[in-house]
Amino acid sequence: MAAACQRVMVSDVRSTNRHLVGEIVRHAESNTEIVDCEDSREAMAFAGRNGLDRVLTDYRMPPMDGIEVIRGLRTMPHLAELPIVCITAVADRRVRYLALDAGANDFLTGPLDPRECAARCRNLLAMRKYPVANMDPTAEHFDPALVEPFLAGASPEIDAIRLSLADSP
C-alpha cells in the first residue's frame, strides 16, 4: 500500500527560495506535494481552504510577515496541530522568539543547510504521527503499546509505575 501524499506549503516571496526549500523537502520525503505560495495573502487563502501536513514560511513577506502568518494559521481549527517552520536570513534573535511565541514549531536561519532542514521536517512529521495524548495513561484512548518500549528497564521507579498500569483495569 502506497504512503499517503504529504502536502507541504512553502511560502516565500523569492521563487528561488521556494524552489530550494521545496526540493529539500521533496528529496527528504518521497510522495510529497509542494504547494508554492509567493506571498502571505496567498498562503493564508490556500491554508484556509485546504488541509496541510506542514508549512515552511519565510519571515519577510508582504503584506503580512511570517509571524502574522503563523498567528493566522494557529487560529484555523483544522490547522491547530500543524507543524510550522519559520525560515529567515534575519540574524536577530528577537525574530526567532517572536516566531516561536506565535506558534512556530521550529526556526531555521539562512543560508539553509539542506541536511538540517530535511531532518527537522522529518522530525516534525514523525512527532505529528504520535501525538502526546497517546502517551497520557489517563486518556480514554491511551495505548500502552506506544509507551512500553520507552519504559521497560528505564528505572525501578518507572518499572513500578509500568507494573501498576498493567494491573489496573
Q: For 84-141, how does the pLDDT look when each residue is reduced to its tens digit (9 = 90+)?
A: 999 999 989 999 999 999 999 999 998 889 999 999 888 887 776 655 444 444 555 5
The answer as to whether 97 is a domain residue is: yes
The answer as to whether 1 is a domain residue is: no
Same domain, 119 and 147: no
Residues sharing a CB contact under 8 Å with residue 159, sequence separation 6 or more, in sequence order: 151, 152, 153
Q: What angle do CA 148, 150, 151 make, to 5 degrees?
A: 65
Same domain, 117 and 145: no
Mean of the pLDDT values across residues 9-37? 92
pTM over 0.85: no
Same domain, 85 and 123: yes
> What's the structural domain count of the chain?
2
Query: Which domain range does residue 150 map to?
Result: 133-167
Same domain, 67 and 142: no
Same domain, 91 and 151: no
Same domain, 93 and 160: no
Please give the single-letter amino acid code of residue 109.
Answer: T
Same domain, 105 and 139: no
CA nearest to 53, candidates 38, 71, 31: 31
Cα(159)–Cα(73) distance, integer angstroms: 41
Whole-number pLDDT of residue 1 = 47
Same domain, 118 and 161: no
Whole-number pLDDT of residue 129 = 63
